Amino acid sequence: MADSYFPPTPPHDADSVDHQLHNDMSAPNIALNGAAPPPNGTTGTKDAPGRMSLKLSHLPSRQIIKPIYPRSPSAVDPNNPPWPAYRGYHEYSFAYATMGQRLPTILGKGIEDVVVTLNQEYDEERVVDLVQCIERMDALMGELQAQAKLRPIIDDGEADVALWNKLIAKYFHGKTFMNAPWLFAEAYKYRRLQECFSISKFWKSYDVFFRQKCDTFSRSNEAVFELSMRFAEPFKLKDGLSPDQKLEAERLMFKELTQICLWGNSTDLSLLINMTEDQIRSLQSTGGANLAATEKNILGNHMQKLWETALTLRSNTGGRVDFVLDNAGFELYCDCVYADFLLQSGLAKEIRFHGKRYPWFVSDVTKKDWTWLLNTMVYGQLFPKASDEEKESLRRLGLRWKQYEKEGKWIYEQHPFWCTGFTFWELHNEAPDLFLHLSRSDLVIFKGDLNHRKLTYDCAAPPSTDFEIAIGSMASAAGAPRICSMRTIKSDVVVGLGPEGDELAERLDKEEPGWKISGKYAVVLLSEGRPGEKVVFM
Ligand code: F6P
Ligand code: MG
């Protein structure tokens, strides 16, 4: 995808972006004389609604009115983020390639997977039921390609139905896959895919991506064993080190593991589909020298502050750390290696992992993926070519992690809010129980690109915008926890690059088209939040 599509940084005064927005919100899709609208909008954006053309010769001439960003908090809503939203018809954004090409491809692969299952099924009732799932997927494909309007979600008993339908009714009534904000339209597509199965009789929990998720882990064998051979045994600092030397050794290890956890995000399945083994290997390099070289690609880097935060947790006898997980397979494995180190080094005493209730954005972790990983490490036979030592190292690591679960040191959770179309700016209002729960954590680590998009409202904020400003109430509400976003950059929104960030982004636009979707660059950003303050809901 990175070869064929290169979105630049949108203009920072966001003027041209906003004009497109105003068109899409206010211009009816008709021409005045009743003629059909032009096939492409006159603004240079394909699929944008057509414009009315009036001849107004006696009125004063048009003024240039620049909208002011960020919008004031009371003017912000899911259809009007603080800065202009990315929408599917914005040709300059990854939204355009995703809505037009990537999603249909991903859905097509999903259909192929179900067909494989169908061909292996023998029971007539189950076969007929599965055929109906495929028919619903076909219908969804048709709607996606026809840029249909977004309809309410059918009540399939999931806890998020009311949240989805409230969002659609209040903000996206009459909106299409192309002119709704990209984040919402894309999330909606995955919810609709879930619905294809959730209203069936026998296939409610079918995951069309499960086989591929397992695959990403087995295809990552080199990096998997590189880590298991180092961490199978509980980690120990060398004997005879002075307290300062010990601390420095731990700091270096923390930094290296933070990066392993971070770069584990660069090989998510939604972009991996056409990658070769060599490309995967180079993205997953876990060796120290390579990590040092790639640190310069962390464009917003708060790792030192993160280390200091972790030390504070330890001085308070270890804290609670939450991971809002992203992808299954290799990335989850890296997250667990990191979490294991946090526990063993006393920086944390409890880790909570937040996953999805159903398949989401292709490769996101579900409970099934979580359980699969731990069990395959202990009992699986995924790596027939591995040496006995390698297999044993993986087994030991898996056993230790299972033990953490039994002892309640690692806890897996799946709140329904994570699978909605809401951004995290709305978490405080729409999922107060979850906000309260997270406010009790000492550090919440959000993994990956989608979580970052949701934290930042997925809009065209200038790259120099402070992370704390970009995440709204997740930083500013009373009781907001400390938050760290670890994300390899795979879509348009980029913030937290510091005062020179706008120039840096412009330079990269010129020199390295595609830098925002390649996964080569990353951010590790920290928000202090307002921990310890009493959470208040209006
Ligand atoms: O479809 C685009 C996207 O949502 C991007 O955010 C990213 O390319 C990918 O899908 C998901 O990435 P991640 O798994 O890191 O959230
Ligand atoms: Mg993901």
- Give tens-digit pLDDT for 27-39: 333 222 223 333 3
What share of residues in the chain are helix, strand, coil (percent, to 5)?
A: 50, 10, 40
Nearest-atom number in ligand 1 for the CA of 364 is 14
How far is residue 439's CA from residue 532's CA, in Å, rounded to a whole number? Answer: 8
Q: Which one-letter DSSP state was computed for residue 400? A: H
How far is residue 154's CA from residue 151's CA, in Å, rounded to a whole number? Answer: 9
The length of the chain is: 538
Average pLDDT of 102-113? 96
pLDDT band (50, 70, 90) for residue 282: low
Instruction: Give residue 262 CA to ligand 1 midpoint distance, Å.
Output: 14
User: Is omega for the bond preceding 481 within 30 degrees of 0, making it cis?
Assistant: no
pLDDT band (50, 70, 90) for residue 65: confident
CA-proximal residue: ligand 1, atom 1 (nearest):
98
Domain 209-527: CATH superfamily, name plus number:
Uncharacterised protein PF01937, DUF89, domain 3 (3.40.50.10880)
pLDDT band (50, 70, 90) for residue 237: confident
Helix locations, 146-181, DSSP H? 161-171
H/E stretch holding 375 reads helix 367-379
How far is residue 165's CA from residue 342's CA, in Å, rounded to a whole number? Answer: 40
Q: Which of 96, 261, 268 gets mutated to test ligand 1 (max ligand atoms within 8 A of its CB)? A: 268
Nearest-atom number in ligand 1 for the CA of 450 is 16
Q: Residue 307: count other Cβ atoms within 10 Å of its Cβ.
A: 16
Instruction: Give residue 132 CA to ligand 1 midpoint distance, Å.
Output: 29
Question: Is 361 close to ligand 1, i.e. is its CB under 6 Å away?
Answer: yes
How far is residue 421's CA from residue 459's CA, in Å, rounded to a whole number? Answer: 14
CA-proximal residue: ligand 1, atom 7 (nearest):
490
CA-proximal residue: ligand 1, atom 4 (nearest):
450
pLDDT band (50, 70, 90) for residue 375: very high
Question: Is 327 close to ligand 1, i.e. is its CB under 6 Å away?
Answer: yes
In the prediction, which pLDDT does 292 show? 72
Instruction: Give residue 302 CA to ligand 1 midpoint distance, Å.
Output: 22
In the prediction, which pLDDT does 276 show? 53
Q: Which of 270, 326, 332 gets mutated to test ligand 1 (max ligand atoms within 8 A of its CB)? A: 270
Question: Is 350 close to ligand 1, i.e. is its CB under 6 Å away?
Answer: no
In the prediction, which pLDDT does 210 show? 97
186's tokens? 């894309």
398's tokens? 């898996």
β-bridge mates for residue 300, sequence order? 523
β pairing state of 319-324 and 348-354 = parallel
CA-proximal residue: ligand 1, atom 12 (nearest):
449
* Strands (E) located in 338-423: 348-354, 410-413
CB-based contact 419:357 (threshold 8 Å)? yes
How far is residue 481's CA from residue 346's CA, in Å, rounded to a whole number? Answer: 20
Task: State which residues have CB under 5 angstroms from ligand 2, the bound ion.
Answer: 268, 326-327, 361, 364
How far is residue 520's CA from residue 449's CA, in Å, rounded to a whole number? Answer: 13
- pLDDT of residue 53 exceeding 90, the answer is no
Residue matched to tokens 């946090």: 342
Residue matched to tokens 């953490």: 404
Task: Find all residues with CB under 8 Å of 326, minimum gap 6, and list them.
Answer: 265, 268, 363, 364, 365, 447, 448, 449, 450, 451
How far is residue 452's CA from residue 471's CA, in Å, rounded to a whole number? Answer: 9
CA-proximal residue: ligand 1, atom 3 (nearest):
450
Task: Find all residues with CB under 8 Å of 63, minimum gap 6, and list them.
Answer: none
Residue from 533, 490, 150 nearest 331 by CA: 490
In the prediction, which pLDDT does 437 show? 98
- pLDDT of residue 236 exceeding 90, the answer is no
The 3-state DSSP class for residue 514 equals coil
Average pLDDT of 199-215? 96
| Topology annotation, domain 75-199 | Transcription Elongation Factor S-II; Chain A (1.20.930)
Nearest-atom number in ligand 1 for the CA of 265 is 15
Percent of the chain with pLDDT over 70: 85
Average pLDDT of 117-126? 98
CA 514 to chain centre: 18
Query: What's the Cα-to-Cα distance from 364 to each of 41, 210, 415, 418, rounded to whole Å?
Result: 35, 10, 14, 11
Instruction: Give residue 533 CA to ligand 1 midpoint distance, Å.
Output: 33
CB-based contact 522:301 (threshold 8 Å)? no
How far is residue 374's CA from residue 401's CA, in Å, rounded to a whole number? Answer: 7
What ligand is nearest to the CA atom of residue 519? Answer: 1
Residue from 74, 97, 64, 70 nearest 12 by CA: 70
105's tokens? 């491809």
Label each residue of 208-271 as H, E or C: CCHHHHHHHHHCCHHHHHHHHHHHCCCCCCCCCCCHHHHHHHHHHHHHHHHHHHHHHHHHCHHH
Q: Which of 265, 356, 361, 452 gets mutated to test ligand 1 (max ligand atoms within 8 A of its CB)? A: 361
Question: Is 448 close to ligand 1, i.e. is its CB under 6 Å away?
Answer: yes
508's tokens? 């990269």
H/E stretch holding 525 reads strand 522-527
How far is residue 181's CA from residue 57's CA, in Å, rounded to a whole number? Answer: 35
What ligand is nearest to the CA atom of residue 328? Answer: 2
Query: What's the Cα-to-Cα distance from 328 to each of 70, 195, 300, 335, 522, rounded to whole Å?
Result: 35, 21, 25, 10, 19
Instruction: Give residue 49 CA to ligand 2 midpoint distance, Å.
Output: 31
pLDDT band (50, 70, 90) for residue 316: confident
Nearest-atom number in ligand 1 for the CA of 327 is 14
What ligand is nearest to the CA atom of residue 447? Answer: 1
Instruction: Give residue 467 CA to ligand 2 midpoint distance, Å.
Output: 21
Nearest-atom number in ligand 1 for the CA of 363 is 14
- pLDDT of residue 512 exceeding 80, the answer is yes
How far is residue 222's CA from residue 199's CA, in Å, rounded to a whole number? Answer: 40
Which of 26-40, 200-214, 242-256, 297-311 is predicted with the least confidence, judged by mean pLDDT?
A: 26-40
- One-letter amino acid for residue 40 of the chain: N
Instruction: List the domain boundaries for the chain.
Output: 75-199, 209-527
In the prediction, which pLDDT does 50 show? 55
How far is residue 383's CA from residue 370's CA, in Å, rounded to a whole number? Answer: 19
Question: Is 270 close to ligand 1, i.e. is its CB under 6 Å away?
Answer: yes
How far is residue 151's CA from residue 188's CA, in Å, rounded to a whole number? Answer: 10
Quick: pLDDT tens for 483-502.
999 999 999 999 999 999 99
Instruction: Give residue 78 CA to ligand 2 midpoint distance, Å.
Output: 21
Nearest-atom number in ligand 1 for the CA of 490 is 8
